[in-house]
Structure formats: C-alpha cells, structure tokens
C-alpha cells in the first residue's frame, strides 16, 4: 500500500485561543533543546564504506577500511528511526500492540504526525497471523470516512508487523470516561448520544463497503469498545482497529495465542467480552449485527452511567453467551420509553430481532435525539473536551516530550509503559454513578492511576534533566575557576 498524502486543509479551529491541537502541534514540531533532531533519513543514512582516516599500518596494501555497520537502533529508546519514520513518543499499549506517535517526512521537506501500531513480536512471527493481519489490513485500509481512523501504510520493521495510521489528537472513550469520573464531571447526554451516533455511522459505512466491482467486502469490526473509539479536540469521533480482531481470531487459531482470545479448542474469539454479542461470544459466525449489539452496549452504558457487564474477562464471556440485558435505569432522560425501546432492539439476544443493520440503528438514534432535543454538534463536543481536558492533555504531552528529550540526551533508558493509556477496559476502571437529572451521566472515580501517568514518565525525565543541568553547572564553575587563575 502506498502512503497517502495527508488530508489537506485541516478544518480551521474555531477556538484558536484555547485549541490544544494548535498549540500541541506547534510544540511537537519544535526542535528539541539539544539541537536539530535527526530526521529519519539522516539517522538512517548509510555509513560511508571507505574510512579515510584509519591507521595505515594494519591495512593490507590496496585494502580499504570498512566502517563498522551502524548499530541497530535501541528499540526502547525514543526518538528512534523506524523505516522512513521517526518514532517520537509511545502513546499507548494494547493487548496486541504498542502505539507510537511518529513523524513522517513529506515530499517537500515538511512532516506530519502519524501513529504507528507495532504488533507484538510474538504475534508478528506467526505466519498465519501475519497472513490474516495483512489480508484484513489491506481490506480495511481502503476505508475512507470521517468516522474511521484511516490506515496509511502496512509493513514489517524490526521483525514486527506494523500499521501506520492517522493520528487522532485527543482521547479514547475509555480515557474520557475515566477523566470525567475523576473530575466528577457528568458527560452530558447529548454528547453520549453523539459519540454513539458517530461510531454507528462508522460501522454503517464499513459494513456497506464494497470492492471495485461493487461486491460487498463483508467487513465487521468485532471489537467495538471504548478504547477503540477515539476523539479529537475538534469534536471528531473515529473508530479504529477495523479488521484487527478478525485477524487475531483467525490467525491465532493455531499459533501463539492472541491476547484476549478465548481459551480452549474451537474458533478463537477475539474482542472485549464486555461488549460482545452472544453469537460472537459463542464462537459462531458473526455479521454486521454483532457490531450493532456492541454499539448498543456502548449506548446502554453511556446512558445508564455504569458498566453493563462486570467480572473477569472469562465471567463476562459467559454473560455474553447468554445475555440478560438489564433495563436502562430511568435517569430523567427525555422520552425514556423511546430510548428504552431503541436500546432493547439494539441489544436483542436473538440477532434476527435486532436492528438489521447499523443504518437502521443510525436512523433510530437520529429520531430519538430529535424527539428528545438532544442533538449535539462536533463543534460543541470539541469545545466540551477542550474546556475540561485540554490542559490535562497538553500537560501530559509536554511531560512526554520532556521525557523523550531527556532520553535522547542521556544513555539509553527504557521508557516505562504509561499507566492508564486506555488499554484496560476492566469494569472497575470506569464506574459511573446514576443520577436524577439528565445531565447526571456522571462517572465516579475509579481509575486513580490515570493522572499519575504523567508523573510516571515525567519524574525520571525531570531527574535526568536536573542531573544534566547540575553537571553542566559544575563544569562551567571549574572552567571559570581555571580561567580565573
Ligand atoms: N490512531 C490513533 N491516534 C491516537 N491514539 C491512538 C490511535 N490508535 C490507538 N491510539 C491509542 O492507543 C491506545 C492503545 O491502542 P490499542 O489498539 O493498541 O489497544 P486497545 O484498543 O486498548 O486494546 P486492543 O489491543 O484490544 O485493541 C488506544 O486506546 C488509544 O488511546
Ligand atoms: Mg485498539
């Protein structure tokens, strides 16, 4: 797959004074304090074959010295070259992959930020997994839609499969719920409905996708869950990881076990059991209606203000196989009966009783939001995110940039995995309190580690920076004393 040009003419921010995107982008493209950062190309420039300054005595007549090969980049150190890209920050870790923010050079010398999803080595080395992953990724890379995270490239580097994707600068839904919970900030119901609506629009588009001859591609996401719902400070909502769960499920059948895959013989069920449709959990063939069910659980949870299924992955898998769908708690949302009817139909255990397609669910959602006067816009959702969490995002980002700069200055130090990067969908992580008013879709604190993750990365960086500063000061003082003599 060729790398595609970035979308031109990004939507201008309507909130220039406080848009974290604009400020964060500016800070990300600034040169590091320790001089110009090598580009991917310069960092990987081949070492000249002949070494002119070598001692002549141990050289055979007519021989030329060959410089030792450039050492392979330390995989734990950032920034580091990665093919044509430069990995600059590790922004997430899931069950199957690590997620990096990367700089991608553009034709005329500029660069853009992209995301690299580097599949774990244990999975990448399985030939069946690799085959399925490549097949699925190729299929899904053709998806172009405002609500789908675009895949630009697919390849293998450092022995691991990777995808290059559009960077969505903001949070995933898991993290948003966690932040709301900590801030005791209710997620307004119009934004809850807006989020689900945008996810369903992505599903509708992907389910209807066809090949060049107009044959249906039969794409089913299979892992619609909060950590795969990304949102930007512009109020965009995008679903990512199309095709990944299928590749993991099929590819892991006779290879290294995919994390999240069901144990035991038979088809490997991959996806998050908290959001799984019964037929999916039972290992049967799934179609678009399994995604409708998962979107129904998202809707249920955002409206109810709490998780629907609880327990370990194995326990939730059992619940998923024989679902007992609780009634939506009455929380003062307008036209509750209409909403309940909608949710019940999306969550019908028998898929024939469910909405027949994401398009049908989309129409029902739109009808309800109009009936209940809960229509939201990306502009207002973006303003909500920016107003409440823009500073948090920037602080985290600056801390990670400082950490990366300090690492680039000092000896290789392993970057500690960020805690709470949206990986864990464990039920205790996102609890939501029920309330009386419609605006009470609030979350109680449950993910106490999230705010610490900035510190977890920043502290070693600060210590290192302080150490370097002290060393410089000491050297200067010594020099000064010498000169003074
Ligand atoms: N394109 C992207 N832009 C911005 N952030 C992203 C992007 N893709 C992933 N992330 C971040 O990285 C996190 C980890 O993603 P990843 O898909 O590896 O794990 P996961 O979704 O938590 O679990 P799973 O392995 O089941 O998919 C995401 O939750 C999200 O916060
Ligand atoms: Mg994911």
Of 349, 383, 410, the position where a domain reaches its end is 410
- Average pLDDT over the chain, rounded to whole? 75
For residues 420-431, average pLDDT:
36
The CA–CA distances, whole Å, from 125 to 64, 163, 251, 345, 383 equal 39, 15, 11, 42, 44
Q: Give a yes or no: residue 475 inside a domain.
A: yes
71 within 8 A of 81, measured Cβ to Cβ: no
Output the pLDDT for position 181.
93
One domain, residues 201 and 335: yes
One domain, residues 337 and 291: yes
Q: Give a yes or no: residue 301 inside a domain.
A: yes
Q: Give a yes or no: residue 61 inside a domain.
A: no
Q: Is 77 helix (H, G, I), strand (E, B) or coil?
A: coil
Q: Whose CA is nearest to atom 13 of ligand 1?
A: 92
Q: Give a yes or no: residue 19 inside a domain.
A: no
Output the pLDDT for position 67.
53
One domain, residues 238 and 355: yes
Output the pLDDT for position 70.
57
pLDDT in tens, 405-417: 776 666 544 444 3
Q: Which residues are catalytic?
A: 223
244-251 helix and 127-141 helix, angle to the nearest 10 degrees: 160
Instruction: Tell me: pLDDT of 162 over 70.
Output: yes
One domain, residues 230 and 372: yes
One domain, residues 352 and 380: yes
Q: Give a yes or no: residue 43 inside a domain.
A: no
Atom of ligand 1 nearest to the CA of 99: 12
260 pocket-lining for ligand 1 (C-beta < 6 Å): yes
Atom of ligand 1 nearest to the CA of 272: 26
| Range among 32-36, 125-129, 462-466 rated most confident | 125-129
Q: Which residue range forms the structural domain that includes residue 101?
A: 76-167
> Among 145-154, 218-227, 251-260, 269-278, which stretch is predicted with the lowest mean pLDDT?
251-260
| Dihedral pair phi/psi, residue 76, rounded to 5° | -95, 0
One domain, residues 202 and 142: no
One domain, residues 80 and 132: yes
228 pocket-lining for ligand 1 (C-beta < 6 Å): yes
One domain, residues 278 and 197: yes
Q: Whose CA is nearest to atom 17 of ligand 1?
A: 94
Higher pLDDT, 474 or 41: 474
Q: How many domains does the chain have?
A: 3
Ligand nearest to the CA of 245: 1
Of 114, 144, 167, the position where a domain reaches its end is 167
Higher pLDDT, 136 or 220: 220
For residues 186-202, average pLDDT:
97
- In the structure, how many helices (H) and strands (E) does the chain have? 14, 11
423 pocket-lining for ligand 1 (C-beta < 6 Å): yes
Q: Give a yes or no: residue 144 inside a domain.
A: yes
For residues 473-483, average pLDDT:
58
For residues 236-260, average pLDDT:
71
202 within 8 A of 239, measured Cβ to Cβ: yes
> Can you spell out the DSSP letters for 202-262?
HHHHHHH-B-TTS-B-----S---GGGEEEETTS-EEE--TTHHHHHHHHTTTSSPPTTPP
pLDDT in tens, 206-239: 999 999 999 999 999 999 999 999 999 999 999 9
For residues 384-408, average pLDDT:
83
Output the pLDDT for position 107.
83
Q: Give a yes or no: residue 416 inside a domain.
A: no
One domain, residues 186 and 331: yes
Q: Give a yes or no: residue 67 inside a domain.
A: no
> Among 266-275, 303-312, 372-381, 446-455, which stretch is predicted with the lowest mean pLDDT?
446-455
Q: Specify the CATH number for the domain of residue 335.
A: 1.10.510.10
pLDDT in tens, 314-346: 999 999 999 999 999 988 899 999 999 999 999
Atom of ligand 1 nearest to the CA of 166: 1
CA gap 407, 425 in Å, rounded: 30
Distance 339 CA to ligand 2 centre (A): 28
Output the pLDDT for position 71.
59
Of 167, 191, 221, the position where a domain reaches its end is 167
> Among 1-5, 94-98, 202-206, 214-218, which stretch is predicted with the lowest mean pLDDT?
1-5
181 pocket-lining for ligand 1 (C-beta < 6 Å): no
Output the pLDDT for position 479.
59
Instruction: Tell me: pLDDT of 473 over 80.
Output: no
Instruction: Tell me: pLDDT of 58 over 90.
Output: no
One domain, residues 389 and 297: yes
Residue 335 CB contacts under 8 Å (≥ 6 apart), including other chains: 368, 371, 372
Atom of ligand 1 nearest to the CA of 244: 27
One domain, residues 83 and 180: no
Output the pLDDT for position 480.
63
Q: Whose CA is nearest to atom 1 of ligand 1?
A: 167
Distance 342 CA to ligand 1 centre (A): 29
96 pocket-lining for ligand 1 (C-beta < 6 Å): yes
One domain, residues 94 and 203: no
Q: Specify the CATH number for the domain of residue 100.
A: 3.30.200.20
């Amino acid at each position: 797959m060729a790398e595609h040009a970035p979308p031109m003419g990004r939507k201008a921010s309507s909130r220039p004074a406080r848009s974290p995107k604009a400020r964060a982008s500016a800070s990300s493209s600034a040169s590091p304090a320790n001089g110009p950062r090598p580009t991917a190309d310069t960092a990987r420039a081949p070492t000249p074959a002949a070494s002119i300054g070598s001692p002549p005595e141990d050289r055979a007549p007519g021989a030329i010295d060959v410089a030792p090969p450039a050492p392979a980049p330390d995989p734990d150190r950032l920034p580091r070259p990665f093919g044509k890209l430069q990995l600059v920050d590790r922004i997430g870790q899931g069950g199957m992959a690590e997620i990096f923010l990367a700089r991608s050079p553009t034709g005329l010398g500029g660069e853009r930020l992209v995301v690299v999803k580097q599949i774990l080595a244990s999975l990448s080395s399985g030939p069946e997994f690799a085959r399925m992953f490549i097949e699925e990724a190729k299929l899904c890379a053709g998806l172009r839609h405002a609500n789908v995270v675009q895949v630009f490239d697919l390849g293998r580097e450092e022995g691991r499969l990777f995808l290059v994707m559009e960077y969505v600068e903001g949070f995933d839904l898991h993290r948003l719920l966690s932040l709301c919970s900590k801030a005791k900030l209710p997620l307004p119901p119009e934004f809850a409905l807006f989020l689900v609506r945008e996810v369903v629009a992505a599903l509708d588009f992907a389910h209807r996708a066809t090949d060049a001859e107009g044959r249906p591609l039969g794409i089913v996401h299979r892992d619609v869950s909060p950590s795969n719902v990304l949102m930007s400070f512009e109020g965009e909502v995008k679903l990512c990881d199309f095709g990944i769960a299928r590749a993991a499920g099929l590819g892991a059948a006779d290879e290294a076990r995919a994390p999240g895959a069901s144990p035991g013989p038979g088809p490997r069920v991959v996806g998050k059991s908290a959001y799984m449709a019964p037929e999916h959990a039972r290992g049967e063939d799934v179609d678009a209606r399994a995604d409708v069910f998962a979107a129904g659980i998202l809707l249920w949870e955002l409206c109810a203000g709490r998780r629907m299924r609880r327990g370990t992955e194995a326990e939730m898998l059992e619940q998923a196989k024989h679902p007992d769908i609780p009634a939506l708690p009455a929380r003062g949302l307008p036209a509750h009966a209409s909403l309940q009817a909608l949710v019940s139909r999306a969550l019908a255990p028998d898929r024939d009783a469910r909405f027949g397609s994401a398009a049908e669910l989309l129409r029902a959602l739109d009808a309800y939001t109009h009936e209940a006067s809960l229509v939201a816009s990306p502009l207002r959702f973006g303003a909500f995110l920016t107003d409440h969490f823009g500073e948090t995002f920037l602080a985290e980002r600056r801390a990670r940039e400082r950490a990366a700069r300090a690492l680039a200055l000092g000896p290789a130090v392993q970057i500690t995995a960020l805690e709470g990067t949206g990986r864990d969908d464990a039920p205790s992580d996102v609890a939501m309190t029920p309330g009386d008013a419609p605006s009470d879709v609030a979350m109680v604190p449950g993910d106490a580690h999230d705010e610490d993750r900035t510190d977890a990365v920043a502290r070693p960086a600060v210590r290192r920076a302080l150490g370097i500063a002290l060393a410089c000061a000491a050297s200067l003082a010594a020099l000064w004393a010498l000169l003074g003599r």
